[in-house]
Structure formats: C-alpha cells, structure tokens
C-alpha cells in the first residue's frame, strides 16, 4: 500500500510541472553491489607510469688485473670525455713501451742510412776515395725490419693504454667501487658514469594492449609529481621486446624531454600521456 501511494505521488509531481525534466534511464546496480563501475577506453591518449633515467649510463672497468695507482676523481665530479678516471700501477707495461720505442728508433735510423744510393769509402792506407753502390733490396729489407719494430711499439702502447680508465662521454661520476692501492680484476666494474644533463623517461607499465597505438615521434605530456610540474616530450624509442613485470607483459618506451626542468633527479616517478592522434 505504501509503495502504491509513493508511485501515485511521483506521477502527480511530474504531471504538475510545466517543463518536465527529461527521463534518464539508469541501469540498475547488480544485486551484489550498490554501485556500478563503468570504464571507457580513450584511443587518443595512452597513459602509463614512468621513471627518470639518464640518456647514457656506463659501468666501467679494466681488461687487465693490477694494483690501482691513482684515482684523480671522486663521486659527484663532472668529467669530460677522455678525462682520466683511474690509473693502474703497471711498470712492466711502461718499460715495454720504452724498450719498443728505442728499438724502433734504432731500426728506423739504420734503414735511413741504407737509403742512399752510394756510400763513400776512404782507404786509410792510401787515402783513396771510392764510392760503392748499395742495392735497393738492402734498404727495403732494413725498412721492413723497422716497420716490424714499429708494430711492436704500437702493440706495447696499446697494452699500456689499458691501464688507464678514461671517460667515454661527458658525465657525472656516480659510484667508485675501488680505492688507491687496491687490486682490481679484469672485467670488474670499478666506476659508474652517467649523463645527468640529459635525463629521459622510460615507461614501466605500458601494456601490450596499448603498445600498438604508440609510434615514434608522438607528443607526450609528462607529469613529475615530486616537482609538481608537467613538461612535454616525444617518443624516441619503443622496445622491440617485452618485459614481464609482476606477471604483466609490458613494453618500455623511451621519451625525450623537450626541456629538462630544474630539480629533476634520476629515479623520480612520472605519469605520461602519449598523444596517439
């Protein structure tokens, strides 16, 4: 009876209004819940989480084992490409270079002396002077010996160069895992160098369902929560192989920033919106 009275009241109220409100059809909620969650996919924008990373990171080490002679840099130093980072103590390699250089100089001089077409000979008893022709083959043989000694010198110099670690690019020394006087092994990472002046964004959860919408060169809006800032960028790399993150298949996408904001640090989290259209 109460339900019937309520329905009659609703009918009377709608009829009495001069401009009745349009009727909106609402899908009833499931008996198991009070509300219904409706999601809509937007093919114009792909949203993903990301992390700030350097454009270049190198874990550096030596190809030989030796004691460390000098470490002229410390963590946090900005260095230029080609700058010395660590030097090993390798006296045997230094001596080998010196010996090879001296041998080459002697062989090159001997070859140059054989280059003349004639040599003069003075008889010590009679004082007569005579000229002797030198076959060209003698010079060519001496020159070949000098070239071989030069190859030995170059090889020794290359071996010595392996005892000095230099910066492969402009960057910042992030970590040094060695000390002066300590021993390093071949292929051991002793220093980490990163380019912090060119930071970029790498997505961490872009799913296989969305990767087909992403193309190189697309515009991206990057929100950096820690800085409270949003900057623009573009897609510069799409990983050709997936990664498994917590059981989900994701494809890392690299985003180059149009401008690097002040305070941006390696490891900060971001949210990216890739404009697909």
User: In the predicted model, is pLDDT for residue 7 greater than 80?
Assistant: no
Please tell me the predicted confidence (pLDDT) of residue 112: 84
User: In the predicted model, is pLDDT for residue 41 greater than 90?
Assistant: no
Cβ-contact 252, 244 below 8 angstroms: no
41 Cβ contact partners less than 8 Å away, ≥ 6 residues apart: none
Superfamily of domain 45-55+198-275, CATH level 4: Efflux pump adaptor protein, beta barrel domain (2.40.30.170)
Quote the mean pLDDT of the chain. Answer: 85
- Encode pLDDT of 216-234 as tens digits: 999 999 999 999 999 999 9
Count of beta carbons in the 10 Å neighbourhood of residue 113:
12
Lowest mean pLDDT among 78-87, 97-106, 132-141, 163-172: 132-141
Cβ-contact 163, 90 below 8 angstroms: yes
Sign of CA dihedral 75, 81, 87, 88: positive
**CATH number for region 58-86+166-194:** 2.40.50.100
Task: Write out the H or E segment, with its range, that includes residue 158.
Answer: helix 136-161
Mean pLDDT, range 142-147, rounded to an integer = 93
Cβ-contact 209, 249 below 8 angstroms: no
Cβ-contact 222, 201 below 8 angstroms: yes
Q: Which two tokens stand for residue 48?
A: 């993903």
Q: Which two tokens stand for residue 186?
A: 């071949």
Instruction: Parse the chain into domains and list their residue ranges.
Output: 45-55+198-275, 58-86+166-194, 91-162
Q: Who wins on pLDDT, 136 or 16?
A: 136
Cβ-contact 97, 153 below 8 angstroms: yes
> With a threshold of 0.85, does the pTM exceed it?
no
Distance of CA 173 to the CA centre of its chain: 14
Task: Write out the H or E segment, with its range, that includes residue 134.
Answer: none
Q: Who wins on pLDDT, 59 or 18?
A: 59
Mean pLDDT, range 234-256, rounded to an integer = 95
Euclidean distance between CA atoms 8 and 96, whole angstroms: 108
Euclidean distance between CA atoms 207 and 147, whole angstroms: 60
């Amino acid at each position: 009876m109460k339900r019937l009275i309520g329905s009659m009241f609703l009918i009377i109220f709608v009829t009495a209004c001069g401009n009745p409100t349009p009727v909106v059809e609402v899908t009833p909620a499931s008996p198991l819940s009070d509300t219904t969650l409706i999601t809509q996919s937007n093919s114009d924008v792909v949203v993903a989480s990301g992390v700030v990373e350097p454009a270049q990171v190198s874990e550096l080490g030596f190809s030989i084992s030796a004691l460390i002679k000098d470490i002229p840099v410390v963590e946090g130093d900005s260095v230029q490409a080609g700058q010395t980072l660590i030097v090993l103590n390798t006296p045997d390699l230094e001596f080998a270079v010196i010996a090879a250089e001296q041998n080459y100089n002697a062989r090159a001089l001997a070859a140059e002396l054989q280059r003349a077409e004639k040599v003069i000979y003075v008889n010590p008893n009679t004082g007569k002077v005579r000229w002797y022709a030198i076959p060209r083959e003698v010079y060519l043989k001496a020159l070949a010996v000098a070239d071989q000694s030069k190859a030995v010198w170059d090889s020794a110099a290359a071996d010595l160069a392996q005892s000095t670690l230099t910066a492969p690019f402009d960057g910042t020394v992030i970590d040094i895992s060695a000390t002066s006087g300590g021993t390093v092994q071949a292929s051991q990472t002793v220093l980490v160098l990163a380019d912090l002046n060119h930071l970029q964004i790498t997505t961490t959860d872009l799913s296989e369902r969305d990767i087909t919408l992403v193309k190189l060169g697309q515009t991206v809006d990057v929100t950096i929560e820690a800085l409270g800032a949003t900057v623009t960028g573009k897609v510069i790399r799409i990983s050709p192989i997936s990664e498994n993150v917590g059981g989900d298949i994701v494809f890392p996408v690299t985003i180059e920033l149009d401008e690097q904001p002040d305070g941006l640090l390696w490891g900060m989290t971001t949210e990216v919106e890739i404009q697909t259209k």
